């Protein structure tokens, strides 16, 4: 009986063996640093103070950074949902041959280094890039449209990078929809709208929430895309963190920012899980 109680922990042993020293410990260090004080050479004075949190939470600049990033994360998440849902639906409902193609189209960009993908996006969105060349050639615009190094360009890049994170959980969820039952129900007189509302939407909700959570967390942490495609006028969290930690060697301030960011994501994850547990109690949550 006691062995049975131990078994989950035995199964967890490999994961804990990695995560405790290489994740819990650094988190602890981060927390400890956030409560210290910055030294000019990048070290942290081992005092105990909340002044870093004070400065991070009251500085309007940091407030803007958090709002920008959370807004962008939510926006890209919603866009991914809007684009990803019909695509996932198509994946689940189409013939086996096309399914392979559609899924490979989602996977293949992940095989290419993000840096090279960005090069591709730069070639498309730059002032002299494909989009503007087409616009100018067809006369739709007389001056190049500024997409690159603007919020819009960065958003497009983010959507491209994280769409797979939304499509895959949605496909997972939609595969559980009893499509034959739907067809049967429609032949029994239930309208197509009812099928969507009462069956498809609830069943796909957990997948949509997980997808949104994954995209949100990823956009929040992204450093590469804001740096290579964004603008400093719309400052994002990860580059701002980098500036504090690395350029300014303000380790304690950066640690406080990081803890706040972590709490934000944990809050969002928790809210999402709560929503799913309320609305779709049978389903799996992150």
Partner 1 sequence: MTGSMGRRTVLLGAGALAAPAVLAQELPVLRVTHFGGPYNALTSVIAEPFAAARLGRVVYETENSVTALTKLQAQREAPPFDIVMLSRGFTGRVGGAGFLSPLDPARSDLVDGAIAPRNWGAAMLIDGIDIMYDRTKVTTPIESWLDLWRPDLRGLVTMPSASLPVYFVVMQIARALGGDPTQPAAIDAAFAKLREIKPNIRTFYSDPVQGSQMIERGEVAAAIQFAGRIAPVMRGNPNIVRASPREGVVGAPYDLCLVNNGRNREAAIAYIDFCLAEPQQSALAARLLVAPSHRRATVPEAAQNFLVPLDKVWFPDEEFAASRAAEWSRRWQREVQS
Partner 2 sequence: MRSAWLLGAFVALVLLFLLGPLLIAIAVAFSSGERIGFPPPGLSLRWFADALGNEQFRDAAARSLWVALAATVISVVAGTGAAVALTQGQGRFAGRAWVQAFIMLPLAIPGIVLGLALLPTAIMLGLRPGFWATVLGHAVVGIPYSAYLVLAAFAQYDPALDRASASLGVGPWRSFLRVTLPLIRPGIVSAAICTFLLSFDNVALSLFLSRGDTLPLRLMQHIQFTATPAVAAASVMLVLLSLGAMLMLGRVLRGRGTIRIAG
> How far apart are alpha carbons 190 and 14 in whole angstroms?
50
Binding of residue 242 to partner 1 (CB under 8 A): yes
**Residues within window 231-250 making contact with partner 2, judged by CB under 8 A:** 237-238, 241-242, 245-246
Binding of residue 136 to partner 1 (CB under 8 A): no
DSSP character at residue 41: T
Residue carrying structure tokens 């958003």: 155
**Residues within window 6-65 making contact with partner 2, judged by CB under 8 A:** 7-9, 11-15, 17-19, 21-27, 29-30, 33
Residue carrying structure tokens 């950066």: 254
CB of 46 or CB of 86, closer to partner 2 = 86
Q: Taking CB within 5 to 8 Å according to partner kind, which of partner 1, partner 2, none is near residue 120?
A: partner 2
3 state SS of 202:
helix
Binding mask 102-131 for partner 1 (x = CB under 8 A): ------------------------xxx---
**Residues within window 15-54 making contact with partner 1, judged by CB under 8 A:** 40-43
Task: Please say whether the beta carbons of 105 and 168 come within 8 A.
Answer: no
CB of 227 or CB of 273, closer to partner 1 = 227
Binding of residue 175 to partner 2 (CB under 8 A): yes
List the one residue out of 73, 122, 79 whose CA is nearest residue 237: 73
3 state SS of 244:
helix
CB of 102 or CB of 133, closer to partner 1 = 133
Task: Please say whether the beta carbons of 103 and 158 come within 8 A.
Answer: no
Q: Taking CB within 5 to 8 Å according to partner kind, which of partner 2, partner 1, none is near residue 40?
A: partner 1
How is residue 16 written in tokens? 């804990």
Task: Please say whether the beta carbons of 265 and 214 come within 8 A.
Answer: no
Interstrand relation of 44-45 and 37-38 (parallel, antiparallel or unpaired): antiparallel
Binding of residue 200 to partner 2 (CB under 8 A): no
Residues that bind partner 1 in the complex, under the rule CB under 8 A: 40-43, 61, 64, 126-128, 148-149, 227-228, 231-233, 235, 239-240, 242-243, 246-250
């Amino acid at each position: 009986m006691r062995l049975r109680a131990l078994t989950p922990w035995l199964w967890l042993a490999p994961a804990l063996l990695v995560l405790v020293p290489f994740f819990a410990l650094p988190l602890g260090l981060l927390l400890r640093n956030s409560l210290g004080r910055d030294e000019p050479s990048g070290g942290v004075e081992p005092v105990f103070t909340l002044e870093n949190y004070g400065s991070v939470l009251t500085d309007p600049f940091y407030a803007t950074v958090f709002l920008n990033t959370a807004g962008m994360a939510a926006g890209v998440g919603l866009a991914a949902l809007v684009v990803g849902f019909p695509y996932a639906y198509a994946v689940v409902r189409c013939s086996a041959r096309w399914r392979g193609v559609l899924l490979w189209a989602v996977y293949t960009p992940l095989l290419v280094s993000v840096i090279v993908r960005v090069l591709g996006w730069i070639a498309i969105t730059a002032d002299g890039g494909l989009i503007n060349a087409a616009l100018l050639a067809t006369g739709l615009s007389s001056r190049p449209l500024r997409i690159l190094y603007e919020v819009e360009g960065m958003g497009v890049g983010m959507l491209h990078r994280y769409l797979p994170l939304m499509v895959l959980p949605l496909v997972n969820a939609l595969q559980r929809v009893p499509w034959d039952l739907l067809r049967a129900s429609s032949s029994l007189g239930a309208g197509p709208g009812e099928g969507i509302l009462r069956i498809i939407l609830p069943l796909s909700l957990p997948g949509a929430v997980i997808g949104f959570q994954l995209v949100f967390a990823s956009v929040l942490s992204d450093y590469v895309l804001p740096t290579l495609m964004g603008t400093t006028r719309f400052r994002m969290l990860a580059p701002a963190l980098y500036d504090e930690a690395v350029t300014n060697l303000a380790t304690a301030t950066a640690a406080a920012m990081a803890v706040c960011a972590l709490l934000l994501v944990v809050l969002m994850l928790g809210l999402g899980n709560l929503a799913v547990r309320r609305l779709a109690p049978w389903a799996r949550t992150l």
